[in-house]
Amino acid sequence: MQQKQEHKITPNVKVSDLTQYMICPRLVYFRAGGHKQSGIAKGKERSVIENILLKELAFDLHKIYARGEDEGGEGAETEEEDARRIMEEIEDGVERIYKEELEGLETDFFEVVKRDFICSMSVENAEWLRKVRTGNGLLELEEAHGYEREHTMVSEKLSMSGSVDKLIRTGEEIIPCVIKTGKCPEYGVWKSDRMQLAAYAMLIEEEFETTVKRGFVEYIRNAEFRESRIKKRDKALALQILKRVKRIKGGVFPEKGENAPCDKCSFVELCETRKTLLSKLFAK
């Protein structure tokens, strides 16, 4: 008898598609069509480099936290020297890790921004260092259990995959953690960040057969590390957006997002062309 052949469905939606949808649904459409956001928008070069450096710094925060704990011991360094050294340690790999994102940038400019960044983080930002060093729930967890960087998960049931920035396994629970370089809300966590954590939580629950109760968002620019409970409504939102993203990837052209950042979007011409084509079509 002929054996039935199993066909594996390759998940084609990433958690990053859901976060893009929250910014503007059309970003998902154009990217799905193979369009790439071309390079770094003019005038945004410095902030792109700073965001990359901040993200890498977030992966090394435990070093600052651990050295802060040892402070006052033999050979203790000043805070400034200490932070500068950690920054210099991380900067070495950045160009290799983010080769694609940094494409087209002049090396000299990159070096200038790096130097400025190291200086600003170590000299001017005493408050930032103090917040990292005085500890918080997240860094204590990282110190005790470590974390896995960019753990990738795939769910064939959801047709979704994703790489969570940090995954902490305490033995009793598995905790997703995302790093954000943008603005930090006054309280709690932005809705889109809660949705992202909920999407990772569903992937973790399927892979590890567990229940994810909480996650963390690291607003690294402000050294704010916010815990967020995984709520049913955030999972429901993630699933709703997952459905919409699948429709867009299936060819449906969506409305633009309510707060779409068109002024700094490299798809602006495509959007305009598409609008003109549609109005011509409906005018017939």
* Contacts with ligand SF4, residue ranges (CB under 6 A): 24, 26-27, 30, 256-257, 260-262, 265, 267-268, 271
* Residue 202, φ and ψ in degrees, nearest 5: -65, -35
CB of 23 to ligand SF4, least distance (A): 7
Quick one: 76 or 278, whose CB is closer to ligand SF4?
278
Quick one: 21 or 110, whose CB is closer to ligand SF4?
21
Residue nearest to ligand SF4 (CB): 265
Quick one: 186 or 255, whose CB is closer to ligand SF4?
255
The residues, any chain, with a CB within 8 Å of residue 125's CB and separated by 6 or more, are 83
Quick one: 26 or 133, whose CB is closer to ligand SF4?
26
Strand partners, 175: 168
CA distances from 2 to 5, 7, 68 (A): 9, 15, 66
CB of 271 to ligand SF4, least distance (A): 3
Residue 230 burial (CB < 10 Å; 0-12/13-18/19+)? buried
CA distances from 233 to 63, 226, 278 (A): 36, 19, 35
CB 205 within 8 A of CB 167: no
CB of 167 to ligand SF4, least distance (A): 31
CA-CA distance, 165 to 205, in Å (whole number)?
17
Quick one: 25 or 162, whose CB is closer to ligand SF4?
25
CB of 28 to ligand SF4, least distance (A): 9
Tokens 């997952």 locate to 242
CB of 251 to ligand SF4, least distance (A): 16
* Residue 106, φ and ψ in degrees, nearest 5: -75, 135
Quick one: 25 or 215, whose CB is closer to ligand SF4?
25
CB of 282 to ligand SF4, least distance (A): 19
Kindly tell me the sign of the dihedral angle through the C-alpha atoms of 14, 158, 243, 196.
negative
